[in-house]
């Protein structure tokens, strides 16, 4: 459904590109804009382009966007599912990074349109500002690896534990952007390209925007490193909720229409405090319900094991070091491994076959880390589980156990992100301020982070032994079992059918 809904948007891009080529010599920009005005409509939950009578919708901007879209590096996003393996639990979650990128491009344009309409002269927003922000939205995810965050946060750290400090999909997006411009001879000013890349990495550990002196607010629209409110989240929260059949009360249009720049910082009406809070809590709910679903994590753990088995032969991780090779990696790598005749891939193929046949790693149990232990908590490992085994009919080994350490927060760890959001009283007010949550509601959560430890047995006959060891670990660490209930007896006695 998501792919079908994205088709009209793609056709708009392609049609505008062809039209621009034909009309450039025939009429002026003003004449072109007068003939082509698009309503701010919606189709299939995906926003369609909006064209107003300002330079934000100039045809050459569409043409430049099309030049990036019509490359193999960008088209690769069609083969990267937005939610990785989540579709094996939520069948509707088959949308890709391709339509998400188009959606962020659109929302970035809407944000700039609102700012330009209300404060354009005051802020000095020009055509280049609009163009760079929209391009950052379009290209912000081209650096994602196979199955999106799984590649970055699960696979690469297992290959090289030090990789988490030197690799990110945002940084790869910037590197790929350089390659695309050079390879396809795209005509964009080097200074503008530099700004686009800075906007893409603005929320990552590679961010260089702290020293930005002019129009710092522009760097907070696509990837907001200051407080986490950005159009990337606006799009994926709505898109993921729809795809998974979940309702969402978050209304991004309220924030888009109310946003105002004060002191080079995007601020929001005080009356929208709960709307901002809803953004963060809805994202956290998606993490808990969808992204870190126990079955989803089981499949992810299995696929990571399969990729690790195949890595030495295929050199998968080496692709992450070279942008010219990286773009060749996408979700189809699973089918490549699965159908390869090579004996070196036998173990990887066996794991993938188990996924196909739904013979997944068996979820044994989980516990939430006590609130007073969050600050000094360290990830639990398979070794910790094995070392907690006291007595059992079988002797566990580390390769028998899989552990998932889940962290769910409101984007800023244990801190409340709303403490970094500035508000204003009304449109005529020039004062910005933060709001203490206890002045709004006493129902808001007092803690902003959850840490959940889940343990899995790689073979069903080991569920009982793994469950007992996991319970021993909890008693040793906290003096009691912190899991909600014991592992069901039926699950303890499971075998492969």
Q: What number of other Cβ atoms are within 10 A of residue 86's Cβ?
A: 26
- Closest by Cα among 359, 239, 248, 243 to 295: 359
Question: In angstroms, what is the C-alpha Rg of the chain?
Answer: 24
Q: 477: left (phi > 0), else alpha (psi -120 to 50), else beta?
A: alpha
Could you identify the residue written with the tokens 């552990």? 403
Specify whether 169 is catalytic: yes
- Distance between CA 306 and CA 254 in Å, rounded? 44
Q: Which two tokens stand for residue 2?
A: 């998501």
Token pair belonging to 72:
């193999």
> For 102-123, b where at least 16 C-beta lie within 10 A, e where not — what string?
bbbbbbbbbbbbbbbeebbeeb
The one catalytic residue among 100, 140, 169, 277: 169
Q: Are 273 and 440 in contact (CB under 8 A)?
A: yes
Picking from 78, 410, 66, the residue whose alpha carbon sits closest to that of residue 233 is: 410
Would you say 288 and 317 are in contact if contact means Cβ atoms under 8 Å apart? no
72, 77, 79, 84: CA torsion to nearest 10 = 160
Nearest CA to 82 out of 102, 62, 67 is that of 102
What tokens does 31 get? 């004449």
Whose tokens are 């990789």? That residue is 163
Q: Which of 240, 88, 80, 87 is nearest to 145 (CA)?
A: 80
End-to-end CA distance of the chain: 34
**Closest C-alpha among 79, 74, 90 to residue 138:** 74
Task: Report the C-alpha gap between 186 and 65 in whole angstroms.
Answer: 10
Given the DSSP bridges, would you call strands 266-269 and 423-424 parallel, antiparallel or unpaired? parallel
CA 465, CA 463: separation in Å to the nearest integer? 6
Instruction: Give every CB contact of residue 479 below 8 A, 6+ residues apart in sequence.
Output: none
CB contact at 8 A, 129 and 64? no
Rounded to 5 degrees, what are φ and ψ at 442? -95, 5
Tokens read off for 129: 């500002």
- Catalytic residue positions? 169
């Amino acid at each position: 459904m998501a792919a079908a809904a994205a088709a009209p948007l793609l056709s708009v891009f392609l049609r505008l590109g062809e039209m621009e080529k034909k009309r450039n010599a025939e009429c002026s920009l003003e004449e072109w804009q007068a003939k082509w005005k698009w309503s701010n409509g919606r189709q299939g939950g995906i926003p369609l382009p909006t064209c107003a009578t300002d330079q934000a919708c100039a045809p050459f901007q569409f043409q430049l966007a099309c030049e990036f879209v019509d490359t193999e590096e960008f088209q690769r996003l069609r083969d990267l599912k937005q939610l990785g393996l989540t579709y094996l639990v939520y069948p509707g979650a088959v949308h890709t990074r391709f339509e998400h990128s188009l959606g962020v491009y659109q929302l970035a344009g809407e944000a700039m349109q609102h700012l330009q309409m209300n404060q354009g002269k005051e802020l000095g927003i020009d055509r280049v500002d609009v163009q760079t922000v929209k391009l950052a939205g379009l290209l912000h995810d081209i650096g994602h690896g196979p199955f999106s965050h799984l590649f970055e946060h699960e696979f690469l750290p297992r290959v090289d534990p030090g990789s988490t400090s030197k690799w990110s999909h945002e940084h790869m997006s910037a590197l790929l952007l350089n390659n695309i411009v050079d390879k396809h001879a795209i005509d964009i000013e080097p200074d503008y390209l530099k700004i686009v890349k800075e906007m893409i990495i603005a929320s990552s550990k590679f961010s260089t925007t702290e020293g930005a002196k002019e129009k710092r607010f522009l760097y907070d629209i696509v990837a907001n490193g200051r407080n986490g409110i950005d159009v990337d989240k606006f799009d994926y929260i709505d898109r993921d909720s729809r795809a998974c059949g979940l309702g969402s009360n978050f209304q991004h249009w309220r924030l888009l229409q109310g946003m105002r720049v004060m002191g080079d910082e995007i601020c929001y009406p005080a009356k929208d405090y709960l709307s901002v809070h809803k953004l963060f809590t809805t994202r956290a709910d998606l993490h808990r319900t969808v992204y870190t679903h126990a079955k989803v994590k089981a499949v992810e753990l299995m696929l990571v094991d399969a990729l690790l088995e195949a890595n030495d032969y295929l050199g998968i991780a080496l692709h992450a070091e070279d942008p010219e090779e990286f773009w060749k990696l996408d979700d189809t790598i699973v089918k490549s491994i699965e159908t390869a005749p090579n004996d070196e891939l036998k173990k990887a193929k066996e794991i993938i076959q188990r996924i196909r046949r739904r013979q997944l790693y068996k979820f044994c149990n989980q516990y939430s880390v006590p609130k007073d232990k969050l600050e000094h908590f360290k990830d639990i490992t398979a070794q910790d589980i094995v070392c907690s085994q006291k007595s059992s009919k079988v002797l566990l080994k580390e390769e028998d156990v899989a552990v998932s350490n889940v962290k769910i927060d409101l984007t800023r760890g244990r801190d409340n992100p709303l403490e970094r959001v500035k508000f204003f009283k009304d449109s005529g007010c020039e004062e910005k301020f933060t709001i203490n949550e206890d002045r709004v509601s006493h129902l808001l959560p007092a803690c902003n982070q959850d840490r959940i430890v889940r343990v899995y047995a790689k073979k069903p006959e080991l569920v009982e032994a793994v469950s007992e060891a996991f319970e021993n670990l909890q008693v040793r660490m906290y003096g009691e079992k912190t899991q909600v209930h014991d592992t069901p007896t039926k699950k303890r006695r499971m075998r492969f059918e």
